[in-house]
Amino acid sequence: MSDYLAKINGIDDLKRLKGSQLKELAAEIREFLLNNISETGGHLASNLGTVELTIALHHYLNSPTDKIIWDVGHQAYTHKILTGRKDCFANLRQKDGLSGYPKCTESPHDIIGAGHSSTSISAAVGLAMARENLNQMGDIYAVIGDGALTGGMAFEALNHAGHIGADINVILNDNEMSISNNVGAISNYLSTLRNDPKLKRVKEDIEFLINKIPRFGNTVSNTVERVKSALKYSFIQGVLFEEFGFNYLGPVDGHNIIELMKHFKQAETIDGPVLLHVITKKGKGYPPAEKNPDRFHGVGAFNIADGSSRKTKSKASYSKIFGETLSRLAAEDKKIAGITAAMPSGTGMEIFAQSFPERYYDVGIAEQHAVTMSTGLARGGMKPVCAIYSTFLQRAYDQVIHDAAIQNLDLTLAVDRAGIVGNDGETHQGLFDYSFLRPIPNLVMMAARDAEQLQHMLFTAVNYKGPAVLRYPRGAAAGDYISHQIADLKKLEIGKAEELIKVESEMDLTILAIGSTVYPAQKAARILNENGHKTALIDARFVKPLDEEMIIRAIKNSNNVITVEEQVLAGGFSSAVLELAADRGVTLKNIKRIGVGDEFVSQGGMEEMKEEYQLDGRGILENALSLLAPAEEVNKLWPEKKD
Ligand SMILES: Cc1ncc(C[n+]2csc(CCOP(=O)(O)OP(=O)(O)O)c2C)c(N)n1
Ligand SMILES: CC(=O)[C@@H](O)[C@H](O)COP(=O)(O)O
Ligand SMILES: [Mg+2]
């Protein structure tokens, strides 16, 4: 077998290959992806599905003059390989390594940075308008998946693009999957387009007739294309994309490079927006991923032979505990409903879905709708629990304020992946939710420190009268997971903190921790006390409302205070403490705030990045000793690097 991939260092090298060579290259890239992702982890199934599509795009187009915009961007690995980044794959998604998403600072071929869904068509429209105003060159292609097409923003952009006749090409990469099974009426509609044999026959007949119409020079005229489209679609109901003002082409086999390029050529002859419907197989070429695309959507290191994970079985995740607790609560309370925005497996909501399908709603990648639909459920008398990753909840900010909080409705927002998420990097960090939710009246907001507290907090939130937010991080839950019966669940007093190490008079230090930072703070506090530094520890539990009396008492009785939160410092937990002290006229003698400063946190292992931001036990100890004692003492008390 020729090693075509070895010779590819940029797209000029790709353009030298032809016909069957491109097919062989596709096979080599698949093998490369499999070998690399099985070591580093990453978005395997989506990337295996877009190999030919990416080869065809880069072979046909002239990037970066022609612009390819990847929606979400998790499927852009072949794009990275072909644009000169093949040798960086050993460090894919690692600290300082290759990003798992398009990133403008990484390559001129990454036109639009992404990570969140359904932005590509809007960006394409903007680029097309800039091209028009500034007399620029180049074709503009947005590549969007069928899952991403469930996002409202995509439709806002289709609506606008069709209206203004933006000269853009939208490639709809339809693999019939979101992360889990795709949902919704559009998804059903796409199935009709894909599978209707009558449509196929009509299309072929019409194409035969159209080909008999005389051509003008070498190009098929725009009018002819439009007539062809109109005729083709007069045979089926609901010509969705045509109604939006797009010219629909396809469906075309997304694993056939030659056919794809033929369709790009055809798209080029059409003025105005084109939607090319491309059919691909998620996980293509790797049987375990083809069979189970959900599990292989985003993976850690695995064994290629059978797809088994290389990670030894870890503790239960917060998401799993959330899903199991919710299911137990729902068994007793028929009003509880579960809502997810296309993340049933990630949020643990699939556990609830298995037992209560009639009260479970996957709304697609539609966080705004998920929140407002939850408020409708609440208004109708249900108890909605809507689980959304912190980073994706950013999409639904106004819905939380306007639809949930002002109306003071009884719903629970379960904010998953709150804090540092690790290898997904900047776009996915859940580092802003305290800051953006804390100012909202009527909301209460708590953060779970471990497996045990998560269960009590969910019980508390579900039974709270008004909008309640419960925040918890990605990955394995701290503490032991003993699943509680409903009778054993405790309703926490709203706004009540817990004094884990008592505040007495004349403390050297009080550590105010919340959520994921409580356990590392506890380790640091223990060491400090063992070494003669009188240290108290408070788990604030609620960022809103704060336990004002306990915090004020702690501040008054401590020579030093440390706040620690897995969040940006601006507007978060420490800000709340400072506001409280200022409002009460209490002077803080010495305060250190541990958290993330005014910067985006880049990719890297979760523990590695927590260490970098001093959110681990050693980091907290180091901060404490910088207030209490000389720096050398850190190494004496905590010699090794890690927790
Ligand atoms: C706003 C937002 N919500 C949720 C996600 C999580 N997410 C990432 S990829 C994905 C599914 C995308 O499906 P599709 O566009 O069809 O791509 P495929 O993986 O099938 O290639 C989801 C839900 C996200 N990235 N952004
Ligand atoms: C592309 C995307 O947005 C998701 O696939 C995300 O990477 C999932 O993250 P988790 O692994 O934390 O579920
Ligand atoms: Mg898909």
pLDDT at 224: 62
DSSP H or E run through 360: strand 360-362
Beta bridge partners of 61: none
Nearest alpha carbon, ligand 2 atom 10: 346
Average of per-residue pLDDT across 392-412: 98
Least confident of 102-116, 212-226, 317-331, 592-606: 212-226
DSSP secondary structure of 553-564: HHHHTBS-EEEE
491-511: per-residue pLDDT in tens?
999 999 999 999 999 999 999
Least confident of 29-33, 210-214, 287-291, 622-626: 210-214
In short, whether 275's Cβ falls inside 6 Å of ligand 1 is no
Evaluate whether 318-488 and 498-637 have a shared fold: yes
pLDDT at 136: 95
Rounded Cα gap, residues 34 and 267, in angstroms: 32
Q: Of 176, 450, 475, 179, nearest to 314 (Cα)?
A: 475
pLDDT at 310: 94
Average of per-residue pLDDT across 609-623: 98
Of the pLDDT bands very low, low, confident and very high (cuts 50, 70, 90), residue 638 is confident
Question: 5-196+236-287: what CATH class?
Answer: alpha beta
Atom of ligand 1 nearest to the CA of 151: 1
272-306: per-residue pLDDT in tens?
999 999 999 999 999 999 999 999 999 999 999 99
Q: Separation of 347 CA from ligand 3 center, angstroms?
A: 19
Instruction: Give backbone dihedrals phi and psi of 498, rounded to 5 degrees, phi first.
Output: -125, 130
pLDDT for residue 235 is more than 80: no
Rounded Cα gap, residues 354 and 80, in angstroms: 38
Alpha helices in 81-174 (DSSP H): 120-133, 152-164
Q: For a substitution probing ligand 2, which of 319, 424, 429 has the most ligand atoms within 8 Å of its CB? A: 424
For residue 416, the ligand closest to its alpha carbon is: 2
Of the pLDDT bands very low, low, confident and very high (cuts 50, 70, 90), residue 641 is low
Distance of CA 465 to the CA centre of its chain: 30
Decide if the complex's ipTM is over 0.95: yes
Of the pLDDT bands very low, low, confident and very high (cuts 50, 70, 90), residue 589 is confident
**What is residue 184's DSSP assignment?**
S
Instruction: Give backbone dihedrals phi and psi of 421, rounded to 5 degrees, phi first.
Output: -100, -15
In short, whether 533's Cβ falls inside 6 Å of ligand 1 is no
pLDDT for residue 3 is more than 50: yes
367 is catalytic: yes
Of the pLDDT bands very low, low, confident and very high (cuts 50, 70, 90), residue 229 is low
Rounded Cα gap, residues 110 and 363, in angstroms: 30
pLDDT for residue 568 is more than 90: yes
For residue 279, the ligand closest to its alpha carbon is: 3
Q: For a substitution probing ligand 1, which of 37, 43, 70, 72 has the most ligand atoms within 8 Å of its CB? A: 72
Q: For a substitution probing ligand 1, which of 179, 284, 296, 347 has the most ligand atoms within 8 Å of its CB? A: 179
**C-beta separation of 628 from 533 below 8 A:** yes
Tell me the average pLDDT of the chain.
94
Q: At what angle do helices 548-556 and 573-584 cross, to 10 degrees?
A: 70
pLDDT for residue 361 is more than 80: yes
Q: Separation of 396 CA from ligand 3 center, angstroms?
A: 23
Nearest alpha carbon, ligand 2 atom 11: 298
pLDDT at 218: 44
The third-level CATH classification (topology) of the domain covering 498-637 is: Rossmann fold (3.40.50)
119-172: per-residue pLDDT in tens?
999 999 999 999 999 999 999 999 999 999 999 999 999 999 999 999 999 999
Atom of ligand 1 nearest to the CA of 178: 13
Average of per-residue pLDDT across 49-78: 98
Average of per-residue pLDDT across 319-348: 98
For residue 75, the ligand closest to its alpha carbon is: 1
Q: Which sequence spans correspond to the domains of the chain?
A: 5-196+236-287, 197-235, 318-488, 498-637
Rounded Cα gap, residues 313 and 300, in angstroms: 12
In short, whether 278's Cβ falls inside 6 Å of ligand 1 is no
pLDDT at 493: 98
In short, whether 421's Cβ falls inside 6 Å of ligand 2 is yes
pLDDT at 217: 44
CATH number of 318-488: 3.40.50.970, 3.40.50.10800, 3.40.50.300, 3.40.50.1980? 3.40.50.970
pLDDT at 197: 59
pLDDT at 633: 76
Place of tokens 């915009």: 69
Rounded Cα gap, residues 64 and 109, in angstroms: 5
Name the CA radius of gyration of the chain, rounded. 27
How much of the chain exceeds pLDDT 70, in percent?
92
Of the pLDDT bands very low, low, confident and very high (cuts 50, 70, 90), residue 265 is very high
In short, whether 319's Cβ falls inside 6 Å of ligand 1 is no
pLDDT at 238: 39
In short, whether 74's Cβ falls inside 6 Å of ligand 2 is yes
395 is catalytic: yes
282 is catalytic: yes
